[in-house]
Structure 1
Amino acid sequence: MRLFGHRPRLGTSICGLSHPFCCGSGPCGAVRGGARQKRRAGGVGGDDFFSFGTSFVPLAAVPPTMLLAALGSAAAGFGALLFLQRLLCPFFWEDVLYYLRLRAAGRAIRSRMKSGVITFVDRFVEQARRIPDKPFIIHEGRVLTYGGAHDRSERVARSLRRRSGLRGGDIAALLMANEPDFVCVWFGLCQLGCQVAFLNCNVRARALLHCLRSCGARALVVGSDLVNLLEEVLPSLQEVGIDLWVVDHSTSLKGVNALLENLDSELDEPLPSDESPPVNITSNFLLIFTSGTTGLPKAARISHLKAVMCLCFLRMCGATASDRVYVTLPLYHMSASLLGIGGCIELGATCVLKKKFSASRFWKDCEEFNVTVFQYIGELCRYLVNQPEVPEESSHSVRLAVGSGLRPDVWRDFRKRFGKIGICESYGLTESSIGFLNYTGEIGPIGRASYFNKLSMPFELLKYDPLSYEPIRTESGRCVKVSKGETGILVTPVSALNPFLGYAGNPSMSEKKLLRDVFHEGDLYFNTGDLMLQDHWDFLYFRDRIGDTFRWKGENVATTEVSEVLGNVDFLQEANVYGVTVPGYEGRAGMAAVVVKPHQTLDGKKLYSHLSQHLPAYAWPWFLRVQMSLDVTETFKQQKMKVVEEGFCPAVVRDPLYFLDKSERDYVPLTETLYERIVSGKVRL
């Protein structure tokens, strides 16, 4: 019998056999048919009969011992089934319930679309009309309600329509830090029918010009606290005719317009209904730039469909309308804008928005603003664990932390110290709709690869070449799936429900992310570039990102695995693992930039002992670089490019360097003399 798919019709035997308890056709079906006819004729109801053999016996005539025996057998059988289920499929019911929640969320979205609520901003407008007086954003003591945010965004739209040439389909870039007007300007531009490009607040002259050119922006809106970024590139921007705006009441920069000038006096009139072109749900909604950890940022196109799907994130994590969600991540990234702000909009919840993350203020803010849910990414939770204890960390109301990138060692430390907070780890990409959620509470996995999850989010893990990181293909040109317990490249089919719109202004990079003829001629898959492992319980684990994994002594070294082991050393606070080239050797030798905990010292012998117990020799870092802090992006992703380029030369690196001396079972200071002996081959690795 198939568990899913065709369901036997009522009156048809499930198993096809004739036996006492069959509810189908055949001999027993005929008897039941007769019983049904008798009931229709006004005979004794079916509840008064007990099936015995091929006959129906009145219940009153059945001995009580027989009834008890039958009930006992049924209970024993049911108990055995439950035991087998817990033994062989312990997460079956969690998988089923999560799948049902996904289906319910999908039905709700489709129902709204039928009534005309199609886009991300449509959902915000709907909520603003439903709960106009509810706090939407709390920021630095200021409360902006749903209705107030809607009114302000419409005023922004009317002002820009009257004073600029922006129209539906144009691309407008937004360079703003976390503040309520980020959302109001964003939604105002969307109501004009513009596509909005979120710019990283840390971009400077060259990168800023690159971003604007690559996405084809016709206008740039800058926050008042970032207006200094315009000064260096102002002539270049004006030369190409970009319309420049600052979110302020006035400005001294020539050729730059003040968006808030006379904003409050804008007439309260609706925008023309023909202002925006009809929305195609698979068309572009946003452009979000990558962090640029490996080069200049790329503008990933985000469809309306993906944005609408992001609305459900907080609901799927267990948040509710009564929650207050603390968002400290930058709004120019998808995590804070689409998942954080969008999640609050979907629920009708309140967002407590912070301009910038502060580990020392975190728990104080949570208590002051009655925060119940917070978002994390990268190493944010590690920073909290490494902070001195404060009274607020045990007196707050936080019940749930949601996000991605939480390493298992930090996860365990966080639960040990802040055990009452549930953690909902997830995985997602800006460029694709593929995503996972760990709804079981197990430490380490980023999600599940169950049968049900693959129904709603199909994906595969492919075998890859450890040198080129390209998928391995057979003689027929087809890719090969990995076995359970084996690391592979995560790929997902490109479809109408999972489109890949590519990178703006970068067709060659867009094409590199696509795999064609993967399993069949003509199929198309998106290559995430992430290495994943599916274990025998169908949990998914993030192993590394292609480019981070390196090869040494003929073996692949996963930087995340080494970082996790280093994270368990009691005197180390943080570790950034990467590979460096050494003259005379193939591949790259392991190196780690580490931060030592306050009031602690580097103990080389203890570190050597720890590594020898937990890692194979080829994965041990040969070089250490001791830093005061690690270079990270605003979403706490570790920056590797600079430290990789600087390598392990004492004349280049100003931080203390150490070398793994296996004969001494210790890490010893890396002097210039020792360095020369290593690169000349006199000291072998």
Structure 2
Amino acid sequence: MLPLWVPGMAVGMVSLHLLQKLLFPYLWQDLRDLLQAMGHGLSAAVRRRRGQFPTVLGRFVKLAQEQPHKPFLIYDGCVHTYQDVDRRSNQVAQVFLHQGGLKKGDTVALLMTNEPNFIHVWFGLAKLGCVVAFLNFTIRFKSLLHCISNCEPKLLVVGADMLGTLKEILPSLQKDIDVWVVTKDCTLPSVHTLLDKLEGASEDPVPVHLHCDNDLKSSVLYIFTSGTTGLPKAAVITNLQVLNAAGGLCAFGATKNDILYITLPLYHGSAALVGICGCIELGATCVLRKKFSASNFWNDCKKYNVTLIQYIGELCHYLCNQPVKEGEKDHKVRLAIGNGIRSDVWREFLDRFGNIKICEFYGTTEGNISFLNHAGKIGAIGRTNFFHKLFSPSDLIKYDFQKDEPFRNKHGWCEKVKKGEAGLLISKVNTKNPFFGYAGNKRETEKKLLHDVFKKGDLYLNSGDLLVQDQENFLYFWDRIGDTFRWKGENVSTAEVSDVVGMLDFIQDANVYGVLVPDHEGKAGMVAFTLKPDKTLNLEQIYEQVVTCLPSYACPLFLRLQETMEMTGTLKQQKFRLVGEGFNPSVITDPLYFFDSSKKSYVPLTKELHAKILSGQMKL
């Protein structure tokens, strides 16, 4: 017969379990995430004590020895094993060491599209201890030259399919920058070729001391971000940040047996750090595509037995907009990892393409905090908890939209918002959660920091994002502060667009902002502008100007011609009313125009055309 205390204990344990489920439903998941993060950090510490450098590059070199014949990259049907990529990157390192004159600590700018050579050059330069700056291959002229000069590279390496862009900027490029192209020959003056030199280069590793680095806070990459205002800025990426990002796939349950499909551009942190470096951390395989294709997406997944995919919200939206086909659930994809997917697209994606776990996360290129939505709650970008705040302190604070700055009370302190209210995400900056800022831009680095937030002497990073937290501590993206808005998965700088439009001799002032378009991610670009006295409007010339000087995602879709430019009391351009009015010709009396690529001009935005845009008949 059981002792009397046994049933009592059983009842007590059941009661505690039910109480935990009711009051702390995510307790065990929170503990699991904590232990996983601690294990990741402990593993790195143990490797460092053993003399193994806990960097992603060190991990890759080790894998090339342990699993040399395992596919690392699959591109256009061609398999590149871990050993293949290691040896090819060794050749790149040898060429640049002996013929490029590079040394440890030099910066090299990389202007290449998605291809294996991007990885070969990146890793080869990393083996020399160089800092590699990833350039956005869609930007042009002034912006591209700004990015190159901003990171002060010794070399610029350009892909074979980017020679047209190189030709445009070559006359204006600084003379002390050596230019290399990934071709066998080139007719451009003073340009070095790489592929011909690789043919006879040694496959032996370069001396390990060149990339040996015990300092996890050493800079290894520059990844450009438009931030909140102005031209792109070079976010400093350290070994520590690369390691943290590389652990993302593992955190969502990926394993070495998975095959990841990457169609996002490698100059993005998501594709390069979470994707490529994440595969290295796991020892997994990556299928790389030149660029995203909605019509070929699922065919590729089936062809290469893909089990993981990376996304941004717009990618999922494009897939859902494809015509319905037979067998859309006939694939092996089990996890989709990314950010920015809308709740309605999330639901449609799951209904249409099968039992795929959507792993939404939040993180900025230069930020010192991230959130993961392990629970798969639709619409949430992640979740915070006691353990998360213990190691990565953050808060949502009130924001003054009229002053366009964090709200401070009569005592000068910031105030936290209540659950359910939108607040500016800030994260504490300390030795465990550092902010490395922007290369060569102390002013912009300082602008990202908030001093004396809750008490004298504290320091926080301004994320620039407004989030909402619900009662279960799930977080939801609400909007971005400042002048930047997102369109087609990219940050659009209003200052950059304004500068380009303002170059036209008939434009007096240009006010750039984003407007919501139903059933589209982000905001579409719109320019309210005034004409100079005695000048006439030339819509074809505006079209030509923006198409030539801006990346496609930054070209404004709508124009609004005003007689006078509205200003705030502090002489800033007024945007709030304009954003609210959108592009509706039934509400706005000013002349409106729409970007029509078929006519290579802006055309009057009529009520009929407006209706077609809203119904989806007119593709944006």
**Superposition map of 1:333-344 within 5 A:** 333-344=268-279
1:537 to 440, 447, 472: 472
Pair 1:394–1:254, CA change in 2 (3 A): same
Pair 1:315–1:218, CA change in 2 (3 A): same
1:576 to 500, 523, 542: 523
Question: Does residue 323 in structure 1 map to residue 264 in structure 2?
Answer: no
**Is the 2:228–2:481 contact (alpha carbons within 8 Å) kept by the matching residues of 1?**
no
Instruction: Give the whole-Å Cα distance in 1 for the aligned partners of 2:308 and 2:114.
Output: 18
- Secondary structure of residue in 2 paired with 1:395: coil
2:393 to 451, 458, 462: 458
Tell me which moved more, 322-331 or 275-284: 275-284
Pair 1:640–1:453, CA change in 2 (3 A): farther
Instruction: Give the whole-Å Cα distance in 2 for the aligned partners of 1:531 and 1:320.
Output: 33
Letter in 2 for 1:375: Q
**Is the 1:217–1:242 contact (alpha carbons within 8 Å) kept by the matching residues of 2?**
yes
Aligned-pair CA distance for 1:392: 4.6
Pair 1:644–1:76, CA change in 2 (3 A): farther
Aligned-pair CA distance for 1:241: 1.4
**Cα deviations across residues 117-137 of structure 1 (Å, max 9, x unaligned)?**
232211211211111110000
Instruction: Give the whole-Å Cα distance in 2 for the aligned partners of 1:152 and 1:234.
Output: 28
Instruction: Give the whole-Å Cα distance in 2 for the aligned partners of 1:430 and 1:537.
Output: 27
Instruction: Give the whole-Å Cα distance in 2 for the aligned partners of 1:348 and 1:391.
Output: 34
* Structure 1 unmatched runs, 5+: 1-63, 551-558, 568-572, 584-632, 661-666, 671-685
Question: Does residue 304 in structure 1 map to residue 251 in structure 2?
Answer: no
Instruction: Give the whole-Å Cα distance in 1 for the aligned partners of 2:476 and 2:268.
Output: 23
**Is the 1:449–1:540 contact (alpha carbons within 8 Å) kept by the matching residues of 2?**
yes
Aligned-pair CA distance for 1:335: 0.3
Query: Equivalent residue for 2:315?
Result: 380
**Cα deviations across residues 267-310 of structure 1 (Å, max 9, x unaligned)?**
34442345457552112111001258964211111111101111
**Cα deviations across residues 438-467 of structure 1 (Å, max 9, x unaligned)?**
000111111111112222322111111121
Instruction: Give the whole-Å Cα distance in 1 for the aligned partners of 2:555 and 2:462.
Output: 22
Tell me which moved more, 483-492 or 319-328: 483-492
**Superposition map of 1:569-648 within 5 A:** 576=523, 639=554, 643=558, 648=583
Instruction: Give the whole-Å Cα distance in 2 for the aligned partners of 1:370 and 1:125.
Output: 26
2:26 to 83, 91, 95: 91
Question: Does residue 650 in structure 1 map to residue 597 in structure 2?
Answer: no
Query: Equivalent residue for 2:377?
Result: 442
Query: Equivalent residue for 2:572?
Result: none
Query: Equivalent residue for 1:196?
Result: 132
Letter in 2 for 1:339: V
Query: Equivalent residue for 1:280?
Result: 215
Aligned-pair CA distance for 1:643: 3.9
Query: Equivalent residue for 1:366?
Result: 301
**Superposition map of 1:447-526 within 5 A:** 447-526=382-461
1:415 to 345, 350, 372: 350
Pair 1:130–1:76, CA change in 2 (3 A): same
Query: Equivalent residue for 1:165?
Result: 101
Instruction: Give the whole-Å Cα distance in 2 for the aligned partners of 1:86 and 1:191.
Output: 50
Normalising by structure 2, what TM-score? 0.80
Question: Does residue 109 in structure 1 map to residue 44 in structure 2?
Answer: yes
Aligned-pair CA distance for 1:389: 1.9
Pair 1:80–1:669, CA change in 2 (3 A): closer
Query: Equivalent residue for 2:83?
Result: 147
**Is the 1:363–1:392 contact (alpha carbons within 8 Å) kept by the matching residues of 2?**
no
Instruction: Give the whole-Å Cα distance in 1 for the aligned partners of 2:396 and 2:521.
Output: 30
Question: Does residue 232 in structure 1 map to residue 168 in structure 2?
Answer: yes
Instruction: Give the whole-Å Cα distance in 2 for the aligned partners of 1:395 and 1:210.
Output: 46
**Cα deviations across residues 565-617 of structure 1 (Å, max 9, x unaligned)?**
x43xxxxx66736898799xxxxxxxxxxxxxxxxxxxxxxxxxxxxxxxxxx
Letter in 1 for 2:108: A
Instruction: Give the whole-Å Cα distance in 2 for the aligned partners of 1:260 and 1:582.
Output: 48
2:157 to 221, 230, 235: 221
Instruction: Give the whole-Å Cα distance in 1 for the aligned partners of 2:403 and 2:241.
Output: 31
Letter in 2 for 1:370: N
Instruction: Give the whole-Å Cα distance in 1 for the aligned partners of 2:189 and 2:141.
Output: 18
Instruction: Give the whole-Å Cα distance in 2 for the aligned partners of 1:492 and 1:174.
Output: 31
**Is the 1:305–1:497 contact (alpha carbons within 8 Å) kept by the matching residues of 2?**
no
Pair 1:299–1:644, CA change in 2 (3 A): farther
Instruction: Give the whole-Å Cα distance in 2 for the aligned partners of 1:144 and 1:242.
Output: 31
* Structure 2 unmatched runs, 5+: 486-512, 531-549, 562-581, 584-589, 595-601, 614-620
- Secondary structure of residue in 2 paired with 1:189: helix
Question: Does residue 348 in structure 1 map to residue 270 in structure 2?
Answer: no
- Secondary structure of residue in 1 paired with 2:113: coil
Aligned-pair CA distance for 1:477: 2.3
Instruction: Give the whole-Å Cα distance in 1 for the aligned partners of 2:127 and 2:34.
Output: 34
1:208 to 129, 144, 150: 144
Instruction: Give the whole-Å Cα distance in 1 for the aligned partners of 2:394 and 2:212.
Output: 34
Query: Equivalent residue for 1:244?
Result: 179
Pair 1:144–1:518, CA change in 2 (3 A): same
Instruction: Give the whole-Å Cα distance in 2 for the aligned partners of 1:135 and 1:669.
Output: 47
Instruction: Give the whole-Å Cα distance in 2 for the aligned partners of 1:475 and 1:575.
Output: 35
**Is the 2:392–2:428 contact (alpha carbons within 8 Å) kept by the matching residues of 1?**
no
Question: Does residue 128 in structure 1 map to residue 64 in structure 2?
Answer: yes
Pair 1:451–1:229, CA change in 2 (3 A): same
Instruction: Give the whole-Å Cα distance in 1 for the aligned partners of 2:285 and 2:25.
Output: 36
Aligned-residue CA RMSD (Å): 2.9
Letter in 2 for 1:414: F
Letter in 1 for 2:407: I
**Is the 1:658–1:669 contact (alpha carbons within 8 Å) kept by the matching residues of 2?**
no
Q: How many aligned positions are there?
A: 533
**Is the 1:170–1:217 contact (alpha carbons within 8 Å) kept by the matching residues of 2?**
yes
Higher RCO (Cα < 8 Å, 6 or more apart): 2
Letter in 1 for 2:591: P
Query: Equivalent residue for 1:629?
Result: none
2:332 to 378, 387, 397: 397
What percent of counterpart residues are identical? 48
**Is the 1:460–1:490 contact (alpha carbons within 8 Å) kept by the matching residues of 2?**
yes
**Cα deviations across residues 284-341 of structure 1 (Å, max 9, x unaligned)?**
1110012589642111111111011111110111111111100000001100001000
Letter in 1 for 2:457: G
**Is the 2:53–2:214 contact (alpha carbons within 8 Å) kept by the matching residues of 1?**
no
**Which of structures 1 and 2 has the bigger CA Rg?**
1
Normalising by structure 1, what TM-score? 0.73
Instruction: Give the whole-Å Cα distance in 2 for the aligned partners of 1:229 and 1:180.
Output: 20
Pair 1:218–1:466, CA change in 2 (3 A): same
**Cα deviations across residues 35-94 of structure 1 (Å, max 9, x unaligned)?**
xxxxxxxxxxxxxxxxxxxxxxxxxxxxx3x62x53322222222222222222222222
